[in-house]
Amino acid sequence: MPRRPTVSPDRILAVAALEFAERGYAGARVDRIARRARVNKAMLYYHFGSKQALYRALLRQIFSSAAGRLHAIATSEAPPDQKIDRVIGEMAAFIAEHAFFPAIMLREVAEGGAHLDRDTLKALAGVPLAIGAIVQQGVAQKTLRSVHPIAAYFTMFAPILMYLAGTPIRKELAARHLGDMSSLPPDLFVQQLQRSVRLAFAVPRTRQPARHTRHHPHRTSHLAR
């Protein structure tokens, strides 16, 4: 995937991704997108028709791409707990390639899908569906403890999305000496999240039929960092 697309529509989409991520749908300016893509504004309308159509085209593309990569993991041959580890890593990799993704995703969640049509919503839904499939499989075959797929989805993905989307504001806070929130680099964050999720979803090793069942994590072999 070329960093600098030479075809106008692709270049427009690439620039629009940055603009919509930085400013949101309402805050994005068609003029600015056109200028940053080095095309005329009339050219942009020639290719996409409207600001809304451009937005939808962009989100369909990015959500389909993300969902596709997660779906590939979901349908692969591996134990569910391994798939979960890989899904978190894959998501981090996807965001490393598409730095604008977290902000757009967060904004669209807050927006309630207001600017999206059915096709785009369907593409968006592909992400949680892929994760849900993995979890359901693991729960069914008892390689994961009984977690609700929706709860699992948010437990795995919300942290990495918000952590990466929040990089600018953490920098801002650090620059203004309002607390050091920048000391944890992304790759270490991903490792910590993978371990937390592993522990959170693991099948309890021993069952203690006490009044209040307390589930202890097992897998002590994973403890060495």
Place of tokens 């977290």: 102
Residue 26, CB-side half-sphere exposure with 13 Å CA sphere: 5
The full length of the chain comes to: 225
Of 79-138, which residues contact DNA (CB under 7 A)?
none
- What distance in Å separates the CA atoms of residue 88 and residue 190, rounded to the nearest whole number? 7
Our CB check for DNA shows the closer of 54 and 127 to be 54
CA dihedral 40, 44, 50, 52 (to 10 degrees): -110
Told to check if 167 binds DNA by CB under 7 A, we report: no
Q: Which is nearer to DNA, 45 or 189 (CB)?
A: 45
The site partner of 155 among a second copy, DNA, none (C-beta below 5 to 8 Å per kind) is: a second copy
The least CB distance from residue 45 to DNA, in Å, is 4
Nearest approach, Cβ of residue 28 and DNA (Å): 6
Asked whether 54 and 12 are in contact (CB, 8 A), the reply is yes
Interacting positions 21-60 with DNA (CB under 7 A): 28-31, 39-43, 45-46, 49-52
Rule CB under 8 A: say whether 122 interacts with a second copy.
yes
The verdict on 102 binding a second copy (CB under 8 A) reads yes
Q: Which among 163, 125, 141, 126 has a CA at the least distance from the CA of 81? A: 141
Site string for a second copy, 201-220 (x = CB under 8 A): xx-xx-x----x-xxxxxxx
Look at residues 12, 170, 157, 11 and name the one whose alpha carbon lies nearest to residue 88: 157
Contact status: 113 vs a second copy (CB under 8 A): yes
Distances from the Cα of 125 to the Cα of 22, 35, 95, angstroms: 23, 32, 18
**158 forms part of the interface with a second copy (CB under 8 A):** yes
The CB-of-46 to a second copy minimum distance in angstroms stands at 26
We find the least distance from the C-beta atom of residue 45 to a second copy, in angstroms, to be: 21
